[in-house]
Amino acid sequence: MTPALSITGLEKTYGNGFQALKGIDLEVAQGEFFALLGPNGAGKSTTIGIISSLVAKTAGKVSVHGIDIDEDFPGAKKFLGIVPQEFNFNVFEKVEDILVQQAGFYGIPLKTARERTDHFLDRLGLAEKRNVTARMLSGGMKRRLMIARALIHQPKLLILDEPTAGVDIEMRRSMYDFLREINAAGTTIILTTHYLEEAEALCRNMAIINHGKIVTNTSIRELLRDLTKESFVLDCLAPLPELISVTDFNVIKRDEHTIEVQIEKGQDLAQAFDGLREQGVKVLSMRNESNRLEQVFVNVLEQNA
């Protein structure tokens, strides 16, 4: 099957000699929900800029659904929807008009454009704002409008560059549900985000880019298996005893009702619970001390520093 996105030997060198991309190879399968992660300045936005033709590459090849962007960008563009970090619509236009006009750029008949506009406004919770100028929208609603605009021509590949930046938790969760829905219906999604719990919750596979190079490209499940240690925070029912010790486990008392348990790779968390129970400790809830993917992410960057 033709991949949704194929990148081979992608390089970008700016006029001052700075090499932003250093021979990137990346392939994203059709139907994938893929995370492209990396620290600030790693090359994520440059890569997206090249795919969308906003940045001129120095070398390499990029194909969208088998169409080389150098040979036929208008053809490739029909398969591609981009949601950039920055808002790039006319804030003085009405929400509905922004979507209908975007459909017109792709030659979509007006009747169909209005039907799709109604659909996406409804699905993204913007129906009541259809006649409001975009400048009156909240930051989160502007993000939703960007997604609706990127989807109005029904692309097969959607690239989201930090789509939930500045979006509150409730709106972020509803956005997750919508993205899962369109992905299940067949839309390939590539996500860049600094919220690593977001990538873990949504994506199956991922690549990490650092200093213009892909330093890892694997499934999130495989990457998490490389964790050598995890820390869990336990909230307890009654005041804890002064001293807590569980054989083979590092247990740290944080306050009268909270302890941290560090689990090494291969250890069984249930054994730690058994040891705590023997000391009369009753656990009410448990959570990870930090996002697991974040720990792996930091490890990968340190290993490739």
Residues 87-99: tens digit of each pLDDT:
989 999 999 999 9
Strand partners, 61: 8
Q: Are 219 and 296 in contact (CB under 8 A)?
A: no
What is the per-residue pLDDT across 237-254, written as a single tens digit (0 to 9) for each? 888 888 888 888 888 888
Question: To which CATH superfamily is domain 229-303 assigned?
Answer: Alpha-L RNA-binding motif (3.30.70.1560)
Whole-angstrom Cα distance, residue 249 to residue 254? 16
Whole-prediction pTM: 0.82
Whole-angstrom Cα distance, residue 197 to residue 241? 33
Q: Compute the average pLDDT of residues 223-243.
A: 80
Give span(s): CATH 3.30.70.1560, the chain: 229-303
Whole-angstrom Cα distance, residue 130 to residue 95? 5
Q: pLDDT at residue 5 above 70?
A: yes
Residues ≥6 apart with Cβ < 8 Å to 151? 81, 120, 158, 182, 187
Q: Are 21 and 10 in contact (CB under 8 A)?
A: yes
Q: In what order do the strands lie in the sheet with 250-255?
A: 250-255, 258-264, 229-236, 283-288
Instruction: Identify the sign of the CA torsion 86, 89, 93, 94.
Output: negative
- Angle of CA points 91, 85, 219, to nearest 5°: 145
Whole-angstrom Cα distance, residue 131 to residue 116? 16
Q: Compute the average pLDDT of residues 92-112.
A: 96
What is the per-residue pLDDT across 24-74, written as a single tens digit (0 to 9) for each? 999 999 999 999 999 988 999 999 999 999 999 999 999 999 999 999 999
Tokens of 239: 């005041």
Question: To which CATH superfamily is domain 5-224 assigned?
Answer: P-loop containing nucleotide triphosphate hydrolases (3.40.50.300)
Q: pLDDT at residue 272 above 90?
A: no
Give span(s): CATH 3.40.50.300, the chain: 5-224
What is the chain's length?
Answer: 305
Instruction: State the pLDDT at residue 172.
Output: 84
Q: Are 85 and 59 in contact (CB under 8 A)?
A: no
The DSSP-derived string for 182-218 is HHHTT-EEEEE-S-HHHHHHH-SEEEEEETTEEEEEE
Strand partners, 213: 210
**Cβ atoms within 10 Å of 27's Cβ, excluding its own:** 15
